[in-house]
Structure 1
């Protein structure tokens, strides 16, 4: 008997969904360690400049530390993206598959004022 498979969905996709979680968490961990190392390198550089009396506006963070911190940011963004859960389908057809017409169209009907016309405007003979 043939198994019913949704469009764009397969068993291979289910098997792959467990791996990105491990990959994403690993990238986030590496990014955190790299960020910690970059922060420590910045602190160490600042301490060295203070000890030598060269602390001022003309001395900036070393380029290798800046590149390291930028790489940590990029790794974190990629890791968070890979670790994110699968997006839910939010199309009208997917919502209507979950709801009945009574749940979807639960607003009140238009008010009928036909029965008041003769009292408000007379019977039409005026």
Structure 2
């Protein structure tokens, strides 16, 4: 995890908390004055910008993806340890709707 990603993530969380506090204060002031209204544009823009920073910080601080393929899994296992379980395969359900008695 990179320290730049963690820094961006911290900045985004602080921005989201500030936007939430600003929206709460603004709406409580409007409620006290009996003037119902929505959230101001600057608070909405701050929220969207902070959320974008949050996404960037999460993507930058995420660990490296692991390879998921048969070859990468078989590096750590022997072929004798892998059970194919062919005894449980059932093929008698195929074609009953198409080729069965009508």
Common fold by TM > 0.5: yes
List runs of 5+ in structure 1 lacking aligned partners.
1-19, 110-126
- Alignment partner of 2:2 out of 7, 21, 28: 21
- Give the TM-score normalised by structure 2: 0.74
Higher relative contact order (CA 8 A, sep 6+): 2
List runs of 5+ in structure 2 lacking aligned partners.
88-102
- Give the TM-score normalised by structure 1: 0.61
In 2: Cα distance, 1:96 partner to 1:31 partner:
41
- Alignment partner of 1:71 out of 23, 26, 49: 49
CA 1:45 to 1:108, structure 2 compared with 1: closer, same or farther past 3 Å?
A: closer
- Alignment partner of 1:49 out of 30, 41, 45: 30
Q: What whole-Å deviation, never above 9, does each CA across 1:89-121 have from its counterpart, x for those lacking one?
A: 111111112111101246487xxxxxxxxxxxx
- Alignment partner of 1:99 out of 69, 77, 87: 77
In 2: Cα distance, 1:104 partner to 1:94 partner:
14
CA 1:61 to 1:108, structure 2 compared with 1: closer, same or farther past 3 Å?
A: closer
Q: Where does residue 40 of structure 2 map in the other structure?
A: 62
